Each structure stands twice: as structure tokens, then as C-alpha cells.
Amino acid sequence: MSSAPLTPADLRCAYRVNPLGVAPGQVRLSWQLHGPGRNRAQSGYQVQVAVDEAGQAMDPGPDWDRAVWDSGRVRSSDSAGIGYAGQDLRRGGRYAWRVRAWDERESVSQWSDPAWFEVELDPAAGWRASWIGQGWQRALNGPPAEDGPFDPVARALQPAPYLRREFTVDRPVAAARLYVTALGLYEMRLNGARAGDAVLAPGWTDYRQRIAYQTYDVTGLLRPGSNVLGAILADGWYSGFIGFDAKRAGGLYGTEPELLAQLLVRFAGGGETWVLTDSEWRVSSGAIRHADLLMGERHEQALEPEGWDRPDFDARGWSTVVRRDRDSVPLVADPGPPVRVTQELPARSVQRDAAGRFIADFGQNLTGWLRLQVPGPGTACVRIRHAEVLDGDGALYTDNLRTARQTDEFVTGGGPAVAEPRFTLHGFRYAEISGYPGELPADAVTARVVHSDIAPAGAFESSAGWLNQLFANIDWGQRGNFISVPTDCPQRDERLGWLGDAQIFARTACYNRDVAAFFAKWLDDVADAQHPSGAFPDIAPRLNLDWAGAPAWGDAGVIVPWTIWKMYGDPAVLDRMYPAMTAWMEFIERGNPGYLRARELGNCYNDWLAPGDDGTAPELLASAYWAYDAALMAEIAEVTGREAEAAGYRALWSKIATAFADGFVGGDGRIACDTQTAYVLALHMNLVPDELREAAAGWLRAAVDRADGRLTTGFVGVGYLLPVLSSTGGLADAYRLLGAEGLPSWRYMVDQGATTVWERWDGWTADRGFQSAWMNSFNHYALGAVGEWLYRFVLGLEQAPESAGFGRLVVRPHPGGELTWARGSYQSVRGPVCSGWSVSGERFTLRVELPPNVTASVRVPSADPGAVRDAAGGGPSSVAGFPGRAGAQEAVFEVGSGTHEFTGPVLAGQEGQDG
Ligand code: BGC
């Protein structure tokens, strides 16, 4: 077959498209290859990086002949995680890069279109600006005031500072960059327009250890003559309410927000100038009377100083700012994706309640806020409350918010207005709007969906409508909770980066969306939060809690980096986390010389929220995770070139595995505790001696039977339950659990109308109503960890054990249960991989699509594997045992890129309807 050369495209640096701030050590490049035909592969590549000082005199563009790095032709199929290896990169410098690739026949492609990156400023020396703020004394939580009832919230909430500075541009501008961060949240304005489209920036880090900043290209916002750079600040995670119990973070990080910004203006004729945050700035307040992530936001339009962020505004009444020298906390270019408004949802319905309030239903539980058109004339006081669910009377159910208020208020200024908050976040499907003048038309209100801007990567569809809804719910749960850090829930007074939830959901998260940069950022937070003992924290950022070391929570510090490497193929994340990971391993070993992890379990949440039965012994669960860590560490050490350490971790694994087998595995393959989770962990983590695996798998199936085909796993067991069943002969049981109705089951939530995944299986029941208001989120992603099973097993989009970054797949679909077809895809770093299958009568058909530079062993389960044929009529290269069912077989085909179709007799018992 004739084939044009491959074309490299979709260039990424540090997992991002043309990032404006990347640390020199994190310039890691990747590309995808496009090209027709089959079995296409990259045999080599060449990367060039050249200085490209955008808009400098004459703008010559990158001079490729004077590249700062030319890799030369590298014989390799790698197309991700290519580390920069050229001359030192200049801090703040702009570079262009391009790549060309040699294909399987050694023909070379054209050079790709260039991509760019800009290097972050020196974390200390690159900054000349000072922190500025308002310098008001703000009330923290304190004793009740003597003169009336104490409302710590009202006392703490303060108007948002507005800051401005004028400057002059007296020459034509070639390029301008705004480097900015805040302690708190900022919205930057330049000549009346918003700079950048990030919201809730700079996001959440432990501000005592690391502060992220953003870089915006603001060239188009400057104008000749007078210009104004402005900012609105809010408390956010820095000095607002965060975590449990309505506590302001103020006592932890700081008490009032501050701004740090530098605007670099480069002139067309050469030369540059900086506008910095300094004592020249002026401060006042405006319409935003308070803004808080948990509590909500209040605007009084009449108080807005119109035109404050443009020139020719009279700022004589504004105060001078309080200036503070920078301290030694490093300022790093934000490695994660910004939080943005990613979608708008119209109201599905707006109804009036008996009290005259409007209840808007957006048909989807989401995280964000409302945008509301309020007509004039006259002043309206509109109040918006938000909730995930309604109570039996059709009113908002807000008991589960605990002390979070999620309430916004807008006092309009007399004319028509658009009411929209900026510095808060609500978890809701419903909103109650009171004080609205007249009738509220449904098209006057929309929900703005807000989260870290993680691009969709996965798709899944099947013949079961309810399962498609579950899939959507899992993705919405991720969207609602990936807000700068992976949080447990977006509505109540918690919203914390729990490690246990993150590790169990990490693989699902990667399949659903491109989370490489998101997790790279959060892993820095995890390392920052590590306890001096080496124990990984329970939550990151850690607040002022020294909770650390909980099994299945702390283990996230090893599992998440490993998962990111496996999914995206760049071992740099492993190198970066290596010291933290080894400190964790030493911490556990120090406390547990007998190789069972029975001590130093911290807060041990065990198999959190296991329905009915939490009978899994903590030391079993903890030891299984420790063994798993050791196995992953052996792999991690090996892939990062640490041979001796890899051997050490293999030896450690053997010791834990032996102790585990001695302590917990019976001669008949029974595992102590006899819970589903105990079997799942022992089998998934490979802790059952080979000769007993089959027996143990049988006991797991018996445990499922004993529970009448229901799951009894909590957050920890839930992730591997269906994968383990499906790979140890229990595929039918996996489908039985998947399809189970009633409590507890995934389907139960869907049947109750859920549009996200609930924290608890029984968040609401007909007999009892709501679960305890104290802990009952309707948007918690942990139980959605079943998502990875849909991709890896139902679709069969699984990597070969030795593969990282989807170079080599084992496409092994697992048809079963009520499904007659399923199809879906995953946008891997090498391009989209797709699988779709259907059963028609006695025929099973599978279609697989792979991008260039990806190969797969395709496994087609069949009652007669020898009779399975590819589209050209070719038979399988071999026949193997199908792990999903004892005695069943699969036909094996080896394929490369292109579209491939296979058809053959269906597995016995899987016959579907004709047509
Ligand atoms: C959170 C969980 C978390 C757990 C730890 C809860 O309050 O919502 O998701 O993992 O605490 O026990």
C-alpha cells in the first residue's frame, strides 16, 4: 500500500499547547503522527528548538540554522516525553520548536508547523515587583461580639479590593506579557478588558511553600498613551473559608489578599519597560461587597466605580496601597491547566414556588455559578441559593452543605444588569432565585460550568441507556471536582484534595480527560504536604492538619505518579516524585519491620464507606497497598535507570508478599476477613500464591453470591472490583454487579435521577429519605472509579503490561451482561485509539482503530476462535485462554495502525438479538 510520509502534529510542551510559562527542567515535548495506511510507525525523529523573541525588532521569526537544540536524527519510536537537551534556556525567553519524523520505510516527513513555549521567570531573581494589598484589618473567627448575635461569616466577609495603576505607552508595542499571581484570587483588567480567561486564578497551592503565577499575552490590550492596569482581589483559598467547619483560612496562610504582578512591554523598535506592583498603585472597593468560595458573593451595583479600570478615571479618592517585600517562597509558572468557564447550560425549567421564588433546574449537577439577566428599571435585590437536590416539598435541600452557604446576592443599580459572581463556586443542579423583578424567563438564566480546563479524552457508548448515563455522571463528577486540585466534593464545607479518592479514581480520570498537567501540578502539592516523617498526607494541600500516612490515602503518592507515567508515557514525573516516594517507603518500613503494615496507619479510613460491612482488617488493606507500592516502585526505579534500587524494591515486595500470604491467605485460598475488598486487593496486588489464585478468585465470586450479587466494597475496594473479577474468570459476576438494581449499586443512583456520582450508595432512599446531612454529597467521584473498567474491559482499550504512553495495546473487549454493543475511544498521547463491538445473533464483530506508531495484540473472545476472521478473511495468529471466563478462548491478531475489523462466533451464552 502506498503511503505518504507521516505528518507530526498536535505538538505539546509540558503536556500543554504553546505554554507561556514552563520551568526549564520541564520542557518535555510530544507530538502525534498523522498519516493514511496501515502499520505506520515512527522509526526516528528530529527536534529543533530556536530562539523566537516574538515581535522583537523586525520579527525575523525563529532562525532554525542557529537552533539552541537540534536533536539530530534520533532512531526511536518515542513521540512523548522527549526532554529538551540543548543550550541553557533563557529565563523568560520565547522559543519555537518543530519536529520531523521518519516512518517505517525511512521516509522523512516535512517539518511540522512550529509550536512555542516560553520559559518561566527565575523563581526568585526574575521578580522585581512587590506584594501590594489594602492593609485593612480583617476579622478572623473570634469570640462573639458583645453587641448582638455572633455571625462569624458575616464578620469575616469583606469587600473585594480594587487596585489600579496608570502608565504610559509612548512607542509602538511589539509584545506584552503579564506575569501575575495573588495571595487569594485575582481578576486582572487592562484598559477595561479582562486579561486572560482564567477564573479563580492563581489556584490553590500551599502558599507557604509555593505560589503559582500565570502569564498572559496582553499585547492586544495595550494602546498608545495612557493605560490602566487593574485588579480585583478576593480571599479564595488563601484567606477565605476553606475546609470543614466554616473556618477562614486566614489563620493559616494570611488574613487579606495581596497582588503581585509585572507587566513586560517590548517595543517594536527595541527596548522594553516593566510595570510592577509597587507603591504607586491605588486601592478602593467596588460593587463586590464580599466574595468567598464557600459562602458566596454579594454585589451592590451602585457602589461600582464605573470606568475604574480605564484611563481618565478620577482616582483621587482612592487610597495608597500597603506594599510588602517579597519573601523567599518560590514563584513558579503554573504547571497546571487554568480554571475556566468551559460550558453554559440553559435552564431546563423555571418554576415559581408558593412563596413566589423561582426554582431553576439545569438538569445537571455541576460546579460553577449562574449568569442572570435582571431587567430595569428600578433596583432589584436578587438572592440566589444553590443546591444539588430538592426536598420532598420541591424546595432546595441544603442541609448537606453543612456551613457552606452557596448564596449570591445582587443589588442592581437601576438599569438592566447581568448578574454573575467571579470569586465563588457552587455545587448545584437547582437554584432558588428570590427578589427577581417580575417573571423570570427561562432564557434569562444560564449555569456557567467552571473547572480546571481538562480537555475531554474518552468516549463510551453502549446499548444500555442507563450505563451511558452512568458514564456521563462519572465525567461530570470529575469536571465538578477538578478545581485546581482534585477535590472530594464541590458543595459542602470541605472541598479538599483527599488522596484516597484521587488514587482510586486516577486511572478513570486519565481516560476521561487529559489530566497530565493537572496531576503534575497537584503532585507538587502532594510533595509539599509530605510529613517530615516521610508519610504522605491525607489531603493536599494539607491545611494546618498533620494527618498523614493513612493506607490507601498516602499510597496515592506512589500510585498517582505511576498512573500518570503509564498513561502519558513520560517518566519525568517519576523522577520528580522519586525522593518523596522513597521517603514514604522508608516511613512505612521503619514502622513495620515485620513486613505487615500494622502500625503507623495514621487516621486509617480503611475501606471508607463500605456499605453495611467494613470487615476488611486495616492491616490487611494497608499491607496490600504497601506491597503494591513496592511493586510499582520496582518498576519506577527501573524505568528511571535505578537498577539497584529496583532490585531492592523487588526484594521488599517478596518480603511483604510472603508475610501477607503467611498472615492472611489460607491453604484453601481463602483470604482473612473474607470480604470482597480483601479478595480484590489480594488478587489485584498479586499477593495470592499462584497455585491458590484460582481458588481465591472462586471465594471472591462466592462473596459476591453471598451478598446476593451486590457489592460490599467501599472507596478502596470499588476501583479494582470489576477489573479483578473480569481477569479471574468472573466476568459474569462483574456484569452482575454492574447491572444490579437497588441498593447498593451504581444503577440505583442512575435510577434515582442522579447526574453525578454520589458519595454514598444510599444518599437518598424512598424509605428513609436523605442520608445523614453531616456527610452526604451528591457529587463525589470516588465510586465512579468503575469508569476505568468501562474503557479497559468493556471496550478493551488496555495497554500491554510493558507499555507506557499507549505505544502497545492489548485490545481485549469483554462483552457480557445485557450489552449487545459498546463503542468508544481514548485520545492517547499517540492519538485516538478506538474500539467498538456488537453482537448480532451468533456473530460477534469487533472494529479497532489505531493511530500511527501504535501496535496491538487484538483478542477476540469466541466460542470458536479458529473461525474468527479479519476483513481480508485472515485467521488468528494464535488462540489463547480468555481470562474473563474459565475455559473460554480468544482469537489473537497482531495489528498496527489503521482500521481493523474482526468477526466470528460469539462466546457461548452471549448470543444477542438479531439485527
Ligand atoms: C471525604 C472523603 C475522604 C474521607 C476520608 C470525607 O469527608 O469527603 O472523600 O476521602 O473524608 O475519610
Instruction: Write the pLDDT tens digit of every residue in 393-449.
Output: 999 999 999 999 999 999 999 889 999 999 999 999 999 999 999 999 999 999 999
C-beta of 505 in contact with ligand 1 (< 6 A): no
Give CA separation, 290 vs 253, 285, 752, 870, 884, in Å.
Answer: 19, 10, 36, 65, 57
- The answer for residues whose C-beta is within 8 angstroms of residue 770's C-beta and 6 or more apart is 389, 391, 397, 399, 400, 763, 764, 776
Residue 344 annotated to the active site: no
What cell does 110 get? 516535512
Nearest alpha carbon, ligand 1 atom 12: 605
Is-contact 37 849, C-beta < 8 A?
A: no
Which of ligand 1's atoms lies nearest the C-alpha of 499?
A: 10
Task: Give the distance (Å) from ligand 1 centre to CA of residue 51.
Answer: 48
C-beta of 561 in contact with ligand 1 (< 6 A): no
Task: Give the distance (Å) from ligand 1 centre to CA of residue 599.
Answer: 21
C-beta of 605 in contact with ligand 1 (< 6 A): yes
pLDDT of residue 247: 67
Strands 482-483 and 769-770: unpaired
pLDDT beneath 50: ranges in the chain: 1-2, 55-58, 139-145, 914-915
* Distance (Å, whole) CA 655 – CA 594: 9
Task: Give the distance (Å) from ligand 1 centre to CA of residue 508.
Answer: 19
Residue 759 annotated to the active site: yes
* Distance (Å, whole) CA 720 – CA 667: 24
pLDDT of residue 142: 44
Structure confidence by residue, pLDDT tens digits, 154-204: 767 889 999 999 999 999 999 999 999 999 999 999 999 999 999 999 999
pLDDT of residue 124: 85
- What is the number of H-type helices and E-type strands within the chain? 15, 47
Task: Give the distance (Å) from ligand 1 centre to CA of residue 759.
Answer: 9
C-beta of 292 in contact with ligand 1 (< 6 A): no
C-beta of 805 in contact with ligand 1 (< 6 A): no
Catalytic residue, chosen from 187, 300, 388, 759, is 759
* Distance (Å, whole) CA 211 – CA 202: 8
Catalytic residue, chosen from 494, 619, 645, 890, is 494
pLDDT of residue 145: 46
* Distance (Å, whole) CA 80 – CA 62: 23
* Distance (Å, whole) CA 477 – CA 377: 40
Per the document, the length of the chain is 915
Which one, of 659, 700, 668, lies nearest residue 683 by Cα? 700
* Distance (Å, whole) CA 43 – CA 74: 9
Nearest alpha carbon, ligand 1 atom 8: 488
C-beta of 500 in contact with ligand 1 (< 6 A): yes
Task: Give the distance (Å) from ligand 1 centre to CA of residue 606.
Answer: 11
CA angle 811–887–882, rounded 5-degree value? 5
Which of ligand 1's atoms lies nearest the C-alpha of 603?
A: 12
Return the H-helix or E-strand segment holding 11: strand 7-13
Average model confidence (pLDDT) across the chain: 95
Task: Give the distance (Å) from ligand 1 centre to CA of residue 498.
Answer: 7
What cell does 18 get? 504553546
- The residue whose CB lies within 8 Å of the most ligand 1 atoms, and thus the one to mutate among 402, 608, 716, is 608
